[in-house]
Amino acid sequence: MNWLQWIPMIATLALIYLLRWMHIGVINFKVFVLIIMLWSLMLILFYYHTRTGRSTDQETDAALEAGMSADD
């Protein structure tokens, strides 16, 4: 298992704990939602750039094309 993939999970845990400790969700809910949305975007970008199986592989493209063919 790749240890780099666990870093965002631990960081998410720390962020949620920090936001809970600071009572951001109760004091200013809009700021809390904005922080969560930005954090989610960062996680999506992180996993997009660090994933191992890119869709540029010929096997993946061939499998996708075979699965979407309407020759049945």
Give the span between the Cα atoms of 52 and 56, in whole angstroms: 11
24 located within any domain: yes
pLDDT given at position 64: 58
Which helix (H) or strand (E) segment is 53 a member of?
A: none
Per-residue pLDDT tens for 10-60? 999 999 999 999 998 899 999 999 999 999 999 999 988 888 666 555 555
Rg (CA), the chain: 19
Residue 30's domain comprises 20-44
Number of domains in the chain: 1
Residues with Cβ < 8 Å from 60, sequence gap 6 or more?
A: 53, 54
**Residue 64 included in any domain:** no
The predicted model scores a pTM of: 0.65
Strand ranges for the chain from DSSP E: none
